[in-house]
Amino acid sequence: MKSSRIKGLHNKSIEERRLLSLGDLDPEELGILNTGGLSNSKADTITENVIGIFALPLSVVPNFLINDEEYILPMVTEEPSIVAAASNAAKLCRDTGGFKVKPEASVTSCELLVSENITIVKEYIKSSVEFLKENLICENTDLVQSGGKVTDIHYMDLPNSSDIKYLKIRLDIITVDAMGANIVNSAGEKLGNILTANCDTTVHGAIVTNSFPQRTTSVSVNYSKKILENIFPGSVENFLRIYEWAKIDPSRAVTHNKGIINGISGVAMALGNDTRAIESGLHFRAASNGIYQPLSRWSVSGDFLHGEADFPLAVATVGGMTSHHPEVSLLKTKLRINNSETANMMAASAGLANNFSALFAIATSGIQHGHMKLHKRKFR
Ligand code: MEV
């Protein structure tokens, strides 16, 4: 497998970068990169009241070693220094094993709210769960053929906020390479109709949850303490202080997490994903123990500065814009992004890489040092 380590990519021309990262491109592919890939007429089918195309820079991020495989990441961002920061962080951990990533199965969930005849609803779900699992997505043959299935239907009493008692029902579905909002919403509404017909209840609403309770991608990385201390003496100790700050102070934690989201959303955006869904899931996870916390954890382990995180992630490679945007299709083919698992692994690694770079910069020469150098290029 060709190495993703590309020396001095930032000093090359755009044409050279294309060749080095994507390989040979035919005229049609070059046209897609030059124009952003989206025609007015195509854009008009994606959303409403379209009047044109809004362009952003598309970058590649070299140097990533993920589970011992070489990857060049696609990234769309408007902010200078995020691409450079991710690429430097990926370079610095190559000799210590790169990123180790474990994605969970692609489960997306729909939740339903009921308040009437709760006992009957619970009994019905308990006794009919196998029938429901078989029937809620059976007409979605493409999904079923590619391994999609309902894995569970369960319920929980919600805390009382008034005299009304609410029950939440959660439907978990393997949506394979799709984020799955449309799939689970359709199945949830179907379940709602079945419950209404069989339990003399009213289903008040059914909607996907962006908390992605069963779609966690775990990522970890080691940096050599010795190398970090050579770059900047005292850096590791201060890095850990800056991390501690995020643990004890939610208003620092939210900015710490913004640094992670810089990488995650940059990759997700390049792959045509709904970044708002991903970001809301990440903030939900950060606040899940009642106090907003940093999404990553950093510690010293032997000779290493060790970082890890468990991100709820549903970066898709099929469905929505991911299947309709010619530039996304080109990137998926050229950069070997064959499934949601790979996309999630890339996004999670970029998130931890950008987090490392931000904390290292804050803990040493200050964030403005590198950031402003790159920012000033705009005014040249
Ligand atoms: C800027 O986009 C991101 C940072 O603020 C993240 C952080 O403070 O950790 C540098």
Q: How confident is the model at residue 279 (pLDDT cuts 50, 70, 90)?
A: very high
Q: How confident is the model at residue 369 (pLDDT cuts 50, 70, 90)?
A: confident
Are 314 and 189 in the same domain? no
Boundary-marking domain end, from 151, 183, 208? 208
Q: How far is the CA of 252 from the centre of ligand 1 (A)?
A: 10
Tens digits of per-residue pLDDT, 122-165?
A: 999 999 999 999 999 999 989 999 999 999 999 999 998 778 99
Q: What is the pLDDT of residue 160?
A: 83
Are 83 and 169 in the same domain? no
Q: In the predicted model, what is the mean pLDDT of residues 101-113?
A: 97
Mean pLDDT (the chain) is 95
Boundary-marking domain end, from 174, 208, 242? 208
Boundary-marking domain end, from 190, 208, 226? 208
Q: In the predicted model, what is the mean pLDDT of residues 65-81?
A: 97
Are 235 and 363 in the same domain? yes
Are 288 and 185 in the same domain? no
Instruction: Say how far apart CA 353 and CA 259 lie, in whole Å.
Output: 9
Tens digits of per-residue pLDDT, 331-347?
A: 999 999 999 999 999 99
CATH number (domain holding residue 156): 3.30.70.420
CATH number (domain holding residue 257): 3.90.770.10
Q: How far is the CA of 359 from the centre of ligand 1 (A)?
A: 8
Report which ligand 1 atom has the smallest distance to the Cα of 262: 2
Residue 1 within any structural domain of the chain: no
Are 368 and 223 in the same domain? yes
Are 192 and 245 in the same domain? no
For atom 7 of ligand 1, the residue with the nearest CA is: 256
Are 50 and 124 in the same domain? no
Q: What percent of the chain has pLDDT over 70?
A: 97
Are 374 and 225 in the same domain? yes
Q: Best of 79, 242, 256 to mutate for ligand 1, by most ligand atoms within 8 A of CB?
A: 256
Q: How far is the CA of 10 from the centre of ligand 1 (A)?
A: 22
**Who's near 332: CB < 8 A, 6+ residues apart?**
271, 317, 322, 338
Read off the pTM: 0.96
What single-letter amino acid sits at 13?
S
Report which ligand 1 atom has the smallest distance to the Cα of 242: 9
Residue 3 within any structural domain of the chain: no
Tens digits of per-residue pLDDT, 216-271?
A: 999 999 999 999 999 999 999 999 999 999 999 999 999 999 999 999 999 999 99
Are 172 and 240 in the same domain? no
Tens digits of per-residue pLDDT, 160-217?
A: 877 899 999 999 999 999 999 999 999 999 999 999 999 999 999 999 999 999 999 9
Structural domain including 45 reads 9-104+216-379
Residue 324 within any structural domain of the chain: yes
Task: Pinpoint the alpha helices (H) of the chain.
Answer: 14-22, 27-35, 40-46, 82-92, 118-135, 141-145, 181-199, 225-231, 235-248, 250-270, 275-286, 326-334, 340-363, 367-375
Residue 4 within any structural domain of the chain: no
For atom 6 of ligand 1, the residue with the nearest CA is: 259
Residue 317 within any structural domain of the chain: yes
Are 252 and 200 in the same domain? no
Residue 53 within any structural domain of the chain: yes
Q: Best of 79, 81, 261, 362 to mutate for ligand 1, by most ligand atoms within 8 A of CB?
A: 362
| Six-digit token string for 45 | 């089918």
Q: How confident is the model at residue 379 (pLDDT cuts 50, 70, 90)?
A: low
| Six-digit token string for 324 | 């309709």
Q: How confident is the model at residue 323 (pLDDT cuts 50, 70, 90)?
A: confident
376: number of Cβ within 10 Å: 10
Report which ligand 1 atom has the smallest distance to the Cα of 246: 9
Residue 2 within any structural domain of the chain: no
Does the pLDDT of residue 375 top 60, yes or no?
A: no
Q: Report the number of distinct structural domains present in the chain.
A: 2
Report which ligand 1 atom has the smallest distance to the Cα of 259: 6
Q: What is the pLDDT of residue 294?
A: 98
Closest CA to 326 of 27, 42, 16, 44: 42
Are 63 and 197 in the same domain? no
Residue 373 within any structural domain of the chain: yes
User: What is residue 9's three-state secondary structure?
Assistant: helix
Identify the DSSP state of 43: H
Does the pLDDT of residue 374 top 70, yes or no?
A: no
Are 116 and 250 in the same domain? no
Tens digits of per-residue pLDDT, 217-230?
A: 999 999 999 999 99
Residues known to be catalytic: 79, 258, 274, 371
